[in-house]
Amino acid sequence: MKRTLFVSLLLVFLFGYSEASKGVTVEGYRYWSSEGYTRVVINLNDQIEFTQNRISNPDRLYFDLKNCILSKDVTPFVSIDDGILKKMRVGQFDKGTVRVVLDLQKFERFNVIMFKNPYRLVIDVFSEKGVDPVPDTKQEGKISEIKRVVIDPGHGGNDPGAIGPRGLMEKDVVLDVAKKLGALLKDKYNMEVIFTRDRDVFIPLEERTAIANSKKADFFISIHANASRKKGAKGIETYFLNWTDDEQAMRVAARENAISYEKMREFQKGDFLQMILQDKERDYKNEESLKLAGSVQNSLINSLIQDYDEIHNLGVKWALFYVLVDADMPSILVETSFISNSREEKRLSDDKYRDKIAEAIAKGVESYTTLPKLVKKTSDNI
């Protein structure tokens, strides 16, 4: 295989891409590492089809990207050496195929999913942890102390998010709420706070999740402002990651994923659904995410109705949000209010209202820490 890859790269170097298929361009790659987890992202300029396989001697995964050409700017290999992957290699395998090879060190399972707008192939590789993630429901006790939280203000930079009738931008509102929330969790509850962004910059959705995983966060909170084509839509809702057939929940996820509703419906099928079902920690993470979402949602409603009228409780829901995919901890996405509603836009523009939202989320987090927590079975207590 090494010889084949070398010959392919040599041919590309000597003869350029005139013989390569005029297909999708592989523009580059990125990766993030943490203990037990590595995320690799392959940047593309269009949708692709691919195949995958694992071979031994040496142990490696490879992905053949069909009808693709490799940009001349892409470095053909990178050493990773994070305990999971040794290195990654990328080459023009034949005139219509780009091959991505991941040389393995420790390996348990992997997930692969295509994200859109922009197009990228996301590969998550998990190492052996020596843990059976099935929760032991017979052992319940006080939750372990929450020490580190990653707060994710949605959108940013060239992505303003939803824009209200008077021009208020979601990216500005949620950044302010996130900073207020971070200050409260740090100063009042002595938690370490990490932001996916702390200024007006764009951060890809898959990078936000990778930040939470690489920092080994105890939980992950993504802050957003809702929007709807219906001007009268209003209220507050909190989400966690799961498959849904609820049309409105899918529309919210489609907007936050920056794809159409039709593509959102397609996204729910096939590989992504299979990935959800194969996640061994799914039940545990869903249980804790549901409890965290419920605690935050209740706190938001109970706090805001004391000072504001017509606070509509849209409840706890679930949908497939890119930003929550493969998060390794309890994770939620909070839709604070509808920026598309004139009255709620006015509230979101008010500093006092944003203070109240941040305080309510912080109280919800604090309430969650008092709830019984499922204990995962480990090799020590099986």
What's residue 362's pLDDT? Answer: 97
| Domains along the chain with CATH numbers | 2-129 (2.60.40.3500), 133-378 (3.40.630.40)
- With CA atoms as reference, report the closest residue to 321 among 206, 225, 218: 206
Q: pLDDT per position in the chain (382 positions), as tens?
A: 444 444 444 444 333 433 344 689 999 999 998 778 899 999 999 999 999 999 998 999 999 999 999 999 999 999 999 999 999 999 999 999 999 999 999 888 888 888 888 899 999 998 865 333 334 433 343 445 678 999 999 999 999 999 999 999 999 999 999 999 999 999 999 999 999 999 999 999 999 999 999 999 999 999 999 999 999 999 999 999 988 889 999 999 999 999 999 988 887 775 565 666 556 566 778 899 999 999 999 999 999 999 999 999 999 999 999 999 889 899 999 999 999 999 999 999 999 999 999 999 999 999 998 876 554 443 333 2
Neighbouring-strand partners of residue 338: 226
**What pTM does this model have?**
0.82
